[in-house]
Amino acid sequence: MEKAADIAPGHISSLPEEPLVIIKPSASWAALRLGDLWLYRELLYFLTWRDVKVRYKQTVLGASWAILQPLMTMLIFTFLFGGLAGITSNGIPYPIFAYAGLLIWTFFANAVTNSANSIVGSATLITKIYFPRMIIPGASVSAGLVDMAVAFLLLIALMVYYRVPPSLTSLMILPLVALSSLLALGVGMWLSALNVKYRDVRYAVPFLIQLWMFASPVIYPASWLPAKWRWILVLNPLTGILENFRVAVFGGSFSWRALAVSTAITFLVLVGSAYSFRRMEKTFADIV
């Protein structure tokens, strides 16, 4: 180590007069720092593919599980609700009606469940290096989109089988999938932060997700409910997404009012969850 007398005077004079980086406590409502997410976009890509690979590692059927889950659920619902209960499906064959709803719902349910457990499951990574923690639940949602893309192939096959032609309304499929992804990210991000502090969340999420499914028009159309109760169903942000997704696939008139409500609630949930996540993430490494 050099002694203070051996250091050239130029070294001292070359130092900046003011610090380049100032470290200070964040405000009570921390900034979202969305620019950091863009800087670490490659990490999001790698974590997404890590989740996809881990999910199907050492499985016999591999990615076929992405199709089997909504397919088997659709067969059971078709027998129970389409056959025995006689639930109407707005003139659409009930199997494909149910599968279209289950396609969105399965993605949403898996994305929320996986992202809720993502921070705790990445404890080793969090305690070693710094990166925006939002990327972890974001990667869980992105991995679910891969499964949804695979399961969508069966929906195309069902449309061919039931002779349902595509229409111009199909252009709305991608925006509706994006909206459901943002809703899943908002809910999953908030639950992932709570799960770090309260480990009961991991046990409560599957139960709440199951209740949420029956409160959403997955196995029944919104028109099946009495008119005086439909406004309550519209307050569920998944209602506008599911109903309009079926319109995008099968054709018809969009419910813009329900879609506007779903969009507004989705962005409120997303922004509120992001702020809550930022406030709680500074303690993740200490208690995870």
Hey, CA dihedral for 93, 242, 222, 68, is it positive or negative? positive
The amino acid at residue 103 is L
pLDDT in tens, 205-264: 999 999 999 999 998 888 888 888 888 889 999 999 999 999 999 988 899 999 999 999
Q: The whole model's pTM is what?
A: 0.83
Grouping H, G, I as helix, E, B as strand and the rest as coil, residue 98 is helix
The domain ranges of the chain are: 33-269
pLDDT in tens, 52-91: 887 777 666 666 778 888 889 889 988 888 777 778 787 8
